A and B are shown apart, each in its own frame.
Chain A
Amino acid sequence: MDVLPYLVAVWIFLVGCYGLATSRNLIHAVGCLAVCQSATYVLLLAVGYRDDATAPVFSDLEPGSRPVVDPVVQALALTDVVVGATVTALLLALVIQVAKRHGTVDPDELSELRG
């Protein structure tokens, strides 16, 4: 199956979306967003994969002696991991404040504004 890795990424993304839409807990929703994001890692790394290739690092590899996987998508996935972690931290900080001010983390109960 040539498209199976891409379909896995699609599946992970849709599972994350389903979790986001049906979530009854904001912490759970932040986790689902992280699941959606990990789908992009799977997609990126699947796009960059190459049969019989090795990592694009030439410190112990003669340049040109072996095929290497696509370094561009690896760099994209790498920066996204750290940025995603800090953005998740920001969202969790928001959840802490929501829980303190409203006493609930259920998004359905958060319908009114409060200062």
Chain B
Amino acid sequence: MNPRTRLCLVAVGGAGLAALLVAACLRLPDFGGDSHPYGERAVRASLARQTANTIASVNFDQRAFDTMGEMTILFAAVVGCVVLLRQTRDEHRDRPEPADVAPPVRRYSLIVLPVALVVGLYVIAHGQLSPGGGFQGGVVAATALHLLYLGADYRALERVRPVGLYEVGDAVAASAYLVTGLAGLIGGTAFLANTLLPYGTFNALSSGGTVPLLNAAVGMEVACAVVLLLARFLDQAVEIEEESGK
């Protein structure tokens, strides 16, 4: 198909889709309106289970099974990346040469690194109380480690980042989520039902039953996943070279 006919086809299909979507938009509830039946029920359920952050309650309690599916997608995507980006037979590894870093960059990143790491862990730990949680905190904690690559060099990053350990961590975190879900079965309720642990006091660190546990498992998995993904892409960019003469 030549580009011209393809563009015509896209125009026709796009116009049809646009018409359907606009018609659907006109029938949606008014923007900013007061009627949010699911939202109100979610808030009520979250308050009944002493979880201050309703979004964490929705993610790790009310639709914890869904989050398990999303976690599995994440895990599968990371496994796919690791498989796709490994070293092939016609490639070899070159030790990267250390490069000079401007002193202000080095100072700044070495000061910010511990702060960013603590912020990441704080966001994970307080997922059931304040905005944030495992998904966001995991990304912050994982990117904090890579400030070492900016501030020092690749070898320093490799020393704090044994990739094998993070692969194990990723798998352990994914299983921890499953095991927490299965513990409900042993306790005589449903899979991933939040009835096993006491709900605790509202607005305290140990509130929300199993929400903090699932949150921590997801935080660990996301942190490990981001470290692994960045490690594989950095490998491709910095270390792996194609064999010359091929």
A interface residues, Cβ below 8 angstroms from B: 2-7, 10, 13-14, 17-18, 21-22, 46-51, 55-59, 63, 67-75, 78-83, 85-87, 89-90, 92-94, 96-97, 100
Taking CB as reference atom, which chain B residue is nearest A8?
B25
Chain A residues near B85 (CB, 8 Å)? Answer: 93, 96-97
A21, A50, A68, A87: the one contacting B77 at CB < 8 Å is: A87
- CB neighbours (8 Å) of A14 from chain B are 14, 17-18, 21
Number of B positions contacting A (CB below 8 A):
61
Given known contacts A10-B25, A57-B130, A70-B36, A75 and B55 CB-to-CB distance under 8 angstroms: yes
The prevalent SS among residues of B at the interface is helix
Q: Which B residues are in CB contact (< 8 Å) with A79? A: 59, 66-67, 70, 135
| CA A72 to CA B39, docked complex, whole Å | 6
B172 at the interface (CB under 8 A from A): no
**Roughly how many angstroms separate A49 CA and B112 CA in the complex, as a whole number?**
35
Q: Given the complex, which residues of A lie within 8 Å of B77, measured CB to CB?
A: 83, 86-87, 89-90
Would you call A3 and B28 a contact (CB within 8 A)?
A: yes
> CA of A92 to CA of B38 in the docked complex: distance in angstroms?
36
B97 within 8 A of A: no
Q: Does B7 contact A (CB under 8 A)?
A: yes
- Bound Cα distance A90, B30 (Å): 38
> A42 vs B203: C-alpha distance in the bound complex, in angstroms?
30
Q: Is the CB of A58 within 8 A of B7?
A: no
For window 14-42 of chain B, which residues contact chain A by CB distance below 8 Å? 14, 17-18, 21-22, 25-26, 28-34, 36, 38-39, 42
Task: Give the complex CA separation of A51 and B242 in angstroms.
Answer: 57
Query: In the bound complex, how far is the Cα of B77 from the Cα of A33, in angstroms?
Result: 16
Give the interface segment out of B181-189, B192-200, B225-233.
B225-233
Interface membership of chain B positions 42-66, coded 1 if the CB is closer than 8 angstroms to chain A and 0 otherwise: 1100110000111101110001001
- Tell yes or no: B113 within 8 A of A by CB: no
In the bound complex, how far is the Cα of B38 from the Cα of A74, in angstroms? Answer: 12
CB 8 Å contact bits of B67-93 with A (1 = contact, 0 = none): 100100110011011001100000000
Distance of B223 from chain A, by nearest CB (Å): 11
CA–CA, A73 and B28, complex, Å: 15
Chain A contacts for B70, CB-based, 8 A? 79-80, 82-83
Residues of chain B within 8 A (CB-CB) of A93 are: 80-81, 84-85, 232-233
Give Cα distance in the complex from A22 to B6, angstroms. Answer: 8
CB pair A22 B7 closer than 8 Å? yes
- Given A2-B30, A47-B28, A87-B73, CB of A57 within 8 Å of CB of B52: yes
Given contacts A56-B55, A63-B47, contact A3 B84 (CB under 8 A): no
Q: Determine the distance from Cα of A18 to Cα of B53 in the docked complex, in whole angstroms.
A: 38
A107 to chain B, nearest CB (A): 11
Q: Do residues A89 and B59 form an inter-chain contact, with CB atoms below 8 A?
A: no
Contact of A55 (CB < 8 Å), options: B10, B28, B131: B131
Question: What chain A residues lie within 8 Å of B131 (beta carbons)?
Answer: 55, 57
Interface CB pairs A-B, < 8 A, 13 = A21-B7, A57-B53, A63-B43, A63-B47, A70-B38, A71-B46, A75-B55, A75-B58, A79-B135, A86-B81, A90-B84, A93-B85, A100-B242
* B129 interfacial contact with A, CB 8 Å: yes
A72–B38 contact, CB under 8 A? yes
Per a CB cutoff under 8 Å, which of A50, A78, A82 touches B32? A50
Residues of A within 8 A of B17 (CB): 14, 17
